[in-house]
Amino acid sequence: MDLDDTAARLGVSVEDVDRVHQLAGDRPSAPLPAKADAPAILARLAVRPDDVAEIMAGWPDPGSPLWTPELRWLLDRSIALVRADLGGHGWLAPGPELPRERGPAWRHLYVYAYLALVDVVMEYHRDHGIADAVSWLTLADLGRNLAIDRRMNREGWPVMQSWLTLHARGSVYELGRLQYHRGGATLDVHIFESGPMTPEAVAASLDEARAFFPRHFPDERYTAFGCGSWLLDPQLLEYLPADSNIARFQRRFELEPYEEPEGLNADVEVLRFVFRSLTTPLDQLPRRTVLQRAIVDHLKAGRHWQWRRGRFPI
């Protein structure tokens, strides 16, 4: 294949296409589910009806004029790229960011890749004795992220498409109120959008994780829970009540010395998670909650938020 021509037709850099070519190589891909089965699968993945309609409208049927040869190549190699790292736990982009305004095939290419990998990762889960209920709950983060991306006017997907490869490789599991990312030095905790993060819900989830990972991944040894998040920024305590859920969550952790994370802007991440917007001017952001007011006032004062890491014993 001509990488330069493929990159030009996709509207991305040659380096991006070469990366996919190198990582995927001639490794096996995986087929998409039958189109007739897709709506039921998307429902199990908590995908909203408006997103389901778009995904079905762009379905890569044979001969579809929406699917150019370079798009079909990228879909096939993206699936192969992620499948080749089944069980891996590092951050992995499935492919380049595409010009999504070009239509549903472009907008949802990595959703189709995710759908093709559902059977692959479900088999991986079953090999580790994981119940289907946990598997589907975990994989349904697809629907949650698509809904958030829609609320963000499509600003959120570049990060989300890489985040979801963790689920498709069997690295992330949702257990109660928290998600857990296995495979590193610690068992990393992630907080997803799902109502109040009460101490009781957090404690129940941690107890579930303490039993889950030794049972299903007995060869892995974790001695601590870890977390990297703006939620661990001690500056939040200047604004929030001491008995707030965030303050009580923070008190579980012993923080590492602060270092500015490479390639990550904490101010941007706070806006992403609190307001689900990356471009709204500060003066136009809502101020309905104590947290919203704290975020805006802190930034308007010329101060910056921090992305902090912490840990506590399992």
Could you report the per-residue pLDDT of 215-231, keeping only the tens digit for each? 999 999 999 999 999 99
* C-alpha span between 7 and 141 (Å, rounded): 30
Angle, alpha carbons 311-163-190 (nearest 5°):
30
* C-alpha span between 107 and 43 (Å, rounded): 19
Phi, psi dihedrals of residue 251, rounded to the nearest 5°: -65, -15
Q: Which two tokens stand for residue 161?
A: 């498409």
* C-alpha span between 9 and 6 (Å, rounded): 5
Calculate the CA 68 to chain-centre distance: 27
Phi, psi dihedrals of residue 57, rounded to the nearest 5°: -65, -30
Q: Residue 258 carries which DSSP code?
A: P
pTM of this structure? 0.94
> Which H/E stretch holds residue 175?
strand 172-175
Q: What is the DSSP string of 283-294?
A: GGS---SHHHHH
Going by C-alpha positions, the residue among 218, 220, 143, 219 that lies closest to residue 174 is 143
Could you report the per-residue pLDDT of 240-253, keeping only the tens digit for each? 999 999 999 999 99
Q: Which two tokens stand for residue 32?
A: 């998409």
Could you report the per-residue pLDDT of 69-119, keeping only the tens digit for each? 999 999 999 999 999 999 999 999 999 999 989 999 999 999 999 999 999
Q: What is the DSSP string of 9-59?
A: HHTS-HHHHHHHHHHHTT----PPPPGGGHHHHHHHTT--HHHHHHHHHT-
Q: Judge contact between 253 and 266, C-beta under 8 A.
A: no
Distant-in-sequence, close-in-space partners of 229: CB < 8 Å, separation ≥ 6? 191, 307, 308
pLDDT band for position 14 (50/70/90)? Answer: very high
Domain boundaries of the chain, sorted by first residue: 3-175
* C-alpha span between 192 and 101 (Å, rounded): 27
Could you report the per-residue pLDDT of 139-198, keeping only the tens digit for each? 999 999 999 999 888 887 788 999 999 999 999 999 999 999 999 889 999 999 888 999
